[in-house]
Amino acid sequence: MTGPGKDAGKRPTLRSVAERAGVSVATVSRALKDDPLIARETRARIARLVKEVGYTPDRAARGLRTGRSHVISVLISRHDEILGFGSSLISGMSRALRGTPYHVTVTPMFEDEEDLAPLRELLRGRAADGVVFTRTQPGDPRVRMLMKAGFPFVTHGRTDIAGHPWVDYDNAAFGRAAVAQLAAQGRRRVAMIVPPPRFTFHRFMTQGVAEAAQAAGMEIDWCDGIDLDTPAEALHAYVRDRLTGPGPAGCPRLDGLICSGEVSAIAASAAVTDAGLVPQRDVGLVAKQTTPLFGLMRPALPAIYEDIAGAGDVMAQLLMRAIDGAAPGGLHHLQTPDDCTDGPGGHGPVAAACEAGQIPKAK
């Protein structure tokens, strides 16, 4: 029996595609790699046939041939502060990996889970070619473990450990910009809801705020005991009490708030209203924005954008280069607020730089 019915029910292979196309297996393989030595008409015909029969490469066979799994593992810390953080990061990575052999697997991380456990399992089974993880600390033990093992990785966030790949947002620049916006409104007594102190970006952000506030003659209340991981209800109660109660001894009422995340900004804005005050009239707020949804808040709050999807795009590209053997010390990218001027959902400068090849793609 010949024709399409011959292999009905069987998974298409390179050989079956070659037989239907009337060419060799090697020709099909080279055509799928867009080899210019194969005639354009032949490449187009094979591409149509591959789509028609539903052929996809056998990952297991390719892994045996290349010694790679073509899997990138993403460890996502589960936290509520950044709306859609995980989905935005994965969306950006998927954009960069499109058209490559790589695909992503996601492992959620929880606060009560030991950070090194999933990495030990990953190193033991070698189920991925590289790994991405978030919420870095200055002396992050995950970084030390992977560097010692020689296993490719990229972090979202910097550490104090030299020589590893990272992508980060310039949180010091965010802090300076937030202070500048409030200073322009004439605010002088400003509270800041900070990142948890154990993370590296806490240091960068608070340094930026402190330096700019000193230059502007602004007093900063660091909201002791409250941070981005505090539940929204507790944040709301704290801000409301600071606006209506006597506050710390000798501390006048706040007239400004810096919120380094969207959930904290929503809670703070509600607290201002519930205290009988008007956001942006009585109390100025500035927030870090990462999703389009936040832009639908009313009253609208001034926001400084961080492009999480853009960061994911760059992280995937840098990780593929690390997997291909690039020196890790040169694989890093610092995203600035100015890189993100198009806002959520826009085609911002980070994505444009990726597509223009200014952030080189791995082969």
Same domain, 210 and 298: yes
3-state class (DSSP) for residue 305: strand
Same domain, 253 and 287: yes
362 found inside a domain: no
Last residue of a domain, one of 16, 32, 56: 56
Last residue of a domain, one of 285, 305, 325: 305
pLDDT value for 1: 41
Same domain, 165 and 181: no
pLDDT digits (tens, 9 = 90+) for 249-292: 445 678 999 999 999 999 999 999 999 999 999 999 999 998 88
3-state class (DSSP) for residue 177: helix
Same domain, 163 and 281: no
pLDDT digits (tens, 9 = 90+) for 165-217: 999 999 999 999 999 999 999 999 999 999 999 999 999 999 999 999 999 99
Q: Which domain holds residue 281?
A: 171-305
Question: Cα(18)–Cα(74) distance, rounded to whole angstroms?
Answer: 36
> The domain that contains 82 carries what CATH number?
3.40.50.2300
Alpha helices in 192-307 (DSSP H): 200-216, 232-244, 262-274
Same domain, 231 and 271: yes
Residue 259: its H or E element: strand 256-259
Neighbouring residues of 52: CB distance < 8 A, sequence distance ≥ 6: none
How close are the terminal C-alpha atoms of the chain, in Å?
A: 41
Strand order in the sheet with 130-134: 103-109, 71-77, 130-134, 153-156, 166-169, 332-335
On whether the pTM is more than 0.85, the answer is no
293 found inside a domain: yes
Question: pLDDT category, 26, cuts 50, 70, 90?
Answer: confident
The total number of structural domains in the chain stands at 3
361 found inside a domain: no
Same domain, 73 and 150: yes
363 found inside a domain: no
Same domain, 165 and 175: no
62 found inside a domain: no
Question: pLDDT category, 359, cuts 50, 70, 90?
Answer: very low
Question: pLDDT category, 349, cuts 50, 70, 90?
Answer: very low
**Average pLDDT for residues 286-303, to the nearest whole number?**
87
**Average pLDDT for residues 68-75, to the nearest whole number?**
88
Same domain, 312 and 291: no
Question: Cα(7)–Cα(16) distance, rounded to whole angstroms?
Answer: 8
Same domain, 272 and 324: no
Same domain, 189 and 286: yes
267 found inside a domain: yes
pLDDT value for 62: 54
pLDDT digits (tens, 9 = 90+) for 112-145: 566 788 889 888 888 899 999 999 999 999 999 9
pLDDT value for 356: 46
Same domain, 315 and 301: no
What are the helix and strand counts (H, E) for the chain? Answer: 13, 11
Range with top average pLDDT, 41-45, 68-72, 200-204:
200-204
pLDDT value for 350: 46
Same domain, 205 and 271: yes
